[in-house]
């Protein structure tokens, strides 16, 4: 091959690499520590992070995760200091500030109490008036529960504090994803051994979403890319394989 042809081939290859590099974006994704689903201390940042990472890689993006308190995560995402916020529930109010992805995981959300409280079910939310209920600051629960101003709710900045407050009887019950509570209870098993109950009925079954601030010019593009990647990994089986690798069922 002539030298000129080699030079042309080299330039073409270099151009191809440059196009590939420029199209791949490192996305800043913010959320809070929410074990066992995602968090800074979990393998690969947790099962949900791995699903998100894989879906974005399909669309040519790299994901960099940062975990901060939830209210700060919401504020930073809304201000555009992060490209995406991971693991949000849907609310009509948030939809005025963020663009939502397609839902990609379901969470069972309910009230949890010590068995010694003697409460296993309720008929309506007014039945809960006598009790102090621990909630997460800034977290959306069910719309009816969040709007129930007559209930005594006590905020905590994270789920670990709420579980500790429950076992120390500083609150009568907590609102939490069942999977999160089981994870934290098992971690505290040596210190707190009181039996607990999941009060029926559930408050809600919540879908998890990605969100991107409407202030960002590229927010719709990022959400579209995530949705496309999610669809592909579900179709080719990678979604299910990730859940199985982390020990999760399809719905938990």
Q: What is the pLDDT of residue 14?
A: 36
Full-model pTM: 0.75
Is the per-residue pLDDT at 18 higher than 90? no
d(CA 188, CA 82): 33
Is the per-residue pLDDT at 4 higher than 80? no
Is the per-residue pLDDT at 5 higher than 60? no
Find the range with the poorest average confidence among 25-29, 52-56, 102-106, 190-194. Answer: 190-194
d(CA 18, CA 237): 31
Show the tokens assigned to 147: 């709007």
Mean pLDDT for the stretch of residues 15-34: 65
Is the per-residue pLDDT at 3 higher than 70? no
Q: What is the pLDDT of residue 140?
A: 87
Residue 128 DSSP class: G
For residue 61, give Cα distances in angstroms to 128, 171, 203, 241. 46, 43, 36, 21
| 171 closest CA partner among 180, 161, 181, 184 | 161
Q: What is the pLDDT of residue 249?
A: 59
Mean pLDDT for the stretch of residues 230-244: 96
Asked if 250 and 47 count as a contact pair (C-beta separation under 8 A), the reply is no
């Amino acid at each position: 091959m002539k030298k000129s042809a080699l030079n042309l081939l080299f330039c073409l290859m270099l151009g191809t690499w440059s196009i590939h590099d420029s199209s791949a974006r490192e996305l800043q994704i913010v959320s809070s520590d929410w074990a066992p689903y995602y968090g800074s201390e979990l393998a690969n940042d947790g099962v949900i992070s791995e699903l998100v990472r894989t879906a974005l890689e399909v669309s040519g993006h790299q994901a960099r995760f940062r975990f901060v308190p939830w209210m700060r995560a919401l504020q930073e995402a809304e201000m555009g200091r992060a490209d995406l916020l991971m693991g949000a529930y849907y609310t009509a109010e948030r939809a005025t500030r963020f663009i939502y992805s397609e839902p990609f995981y379901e969470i069972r959300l309910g009230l949890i109490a010590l068995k010694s409280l003697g409460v296993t079910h309720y008929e309506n939310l007014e039945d809960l008036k006598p009790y102090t209920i621990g909630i997460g600051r800034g977290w959306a629960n069910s719309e009816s529960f969040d709007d129930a101003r007559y209930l005594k709710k006590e905020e905590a900045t994270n789920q670990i504090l709420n579980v500790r407050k429950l076992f120390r009887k500083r609150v009568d019950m907590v609102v939490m994803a069942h999977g999160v509570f089981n994870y934290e209870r098992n971690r505290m098993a040596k210190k707190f051994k009181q039996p607990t109950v999941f009060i029926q009925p559930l408050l809600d079954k919540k879908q998890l979403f990605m969100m991107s601030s409407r202030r960002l010019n590229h927010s719709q593009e990022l959400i579209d890319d995530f949705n496309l990647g999610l669809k592909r990994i579900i179709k080719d089986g990678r979604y299910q394989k990730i859940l199985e690798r982390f020990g999760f069922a399809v719905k938990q």
